[in-house]
Chain A
Amino acid sequence: MTMIAITSTGPSLDDQVDPRFGRAAGFLIVDLETMDTRYIDNGQSQVMAQGAGIQAAQLVARAGAGWVLTGFVGPKAFKALSATGIKVGQNLEGLTIRQALKRFKSGGIEVASGANRAGRGGR
């Protein structure tokens, strides 16, 4: 799988990895072979109080991504991502998209085995 979804604060490779998954500002979808990028805005999730993680998982699944790179993933989103076979690389907050991609290509990102955030989004 060569498509990667990275939670991003903006549409360029020099924007920051958004630490949030469900409520990320947006997703930068990167085709690793061609390095084509496409930005999906996720602004509407800011006002959603529940299911933002699940909806974000649906969004990246539909975009054809095989990996998600982000900061924190909650349990529901993690369950949804792993159900569709999408691998998760987490704890990447503080990097730019470019840096995160570089680390990914060099094999420096492990497949997460579980959610790294216990919080939940309200009923």
Chain B
Amino acid sequence: MIAAVASGKGGTGKTTVTASLATVWGGPLVAVDLDVEEPNLHLFLRPTIEGREKAHLTVPVVDEARCNCCRACADLCQFAAISVMGSVILTFPEMCHGCGGCFAVCPEKALSCGQRELGEISWGRSGPVDFLSGRLRVGEAMSPPLMRRVKGRLQQMLGSVGGDAIIDAPPGVSCPAVNAVLDSDVILLVTEPTPFGFYDFRLAWQAFAPLGKPLGVVVNRAGLGHDAVYRFCRDQGLPLLAEIPYDRDIAAAYARGRIVADLSPELRETFLSLRGKIGDLARQCRPRKAVHA
């Protein structure tokens, strides 16, 4: 089972929930940080890193001796990564999405493979838990290509050791967030009961509900604001799987890098129960076929 922990709004507690679930999971688990723009999971799980590698995107390099500036590649490219200026062909590798169209369309075989560094993938162990993370290069604009690489490695890891995975997804509801939850079996939406939290929660629900995957809700900082999120869950039949109370001491402990599930027996129990409910949700819904699978 792959469970993705997502939220519309940033800072609602995705990483807190992911780290806490990882510590109470029991059984083989890969904890994956797919928030490649701002990866934070390692700050809480403090893994021993066993390996790392750079991830690259294949981009075109022009062999000017072969290129006759026919423009076929520039006409096909949707991302302005290749441009013909008179009798000069120019590439803008930072614009390339790696679709491979230019290579396929070039009649002169005048393009060879270059590379743009996307970032770094690292892996290791945190106690009994396997750890995997992507880290976008500062200045790189596109996170989905690196996320695809991280997910590729996750498949390898799951293929060799089996077990479950829990994914810390990026905030938001656009391409990176959707990319992170696309291959999961269950999506956990973490929110806080404030106007900002609720507004973004509803956006996340609109983005993720069409995927046809089971959704569960975790309310963090419960008691802080209003009850709109509870009413919404009731009306939409969304299961509320856990509540983490608002407590200044929890916030202060988090600020010191503590894992919330380790703070008290009650909180540990909250996450143990959440872990069980995630399993139930995945099992209940397994036969259902996702629309976009």
Contacts and interface: CB of A to CB of B under 8 A. Distances in A.
Interface stretch (A49-57, A93-101, A107-115): A49-57
A44 interface: no
A76 B85 contact: no
Contact of A79 (B86, B90, B142): B90
Given A58-B83, A80-B85, A123 B141 contact: yes
B110 interface: no
Interface in A54-109: 54-55, 57-58, 61, 76, 79-80, 83-84
Contact of B85 (A50, A51, A84, A120): A84
A77 B285 CA distance: 52
A84 B85 CA distance: 6
Contact of B88 (A55, A83, A120): A83
Q: Which of the four size classes fits the interface of chain B?
A: 10 to 19
B196 interface: no
Interface string A16-59: 00000000000000000000000000000000001100110110
A123 B83 contact: no
Nearest to B84: A58
Interface of A: 50-51, 54-55, 57-58, 61, 76, 79-80, 83-84, 120, 122-123
20 contacts: A50-B79, A50-B80, A50-B95, A51-B80, A54-B80, A54-B90, A57-B85, A58-B85, A61-B85, A61-B86, A76-B92, A79-B92, A80-B83, A80-B90, A83-B85, A83-B88, A83-B90, A84-B86, A84-B88, A120-B141
Given A51-B80, A54-B80, A80-B83, 17 more contacts: A50-B79, A50-B80, A51-B83, A54-B83, A54-B90, A54-B92, A55-B80, A61-B85, A76-B92, A76-B95, A84-B85, A84-B88, A120-B94, A122-B141, A123-B79, A123-B95, A123-B141
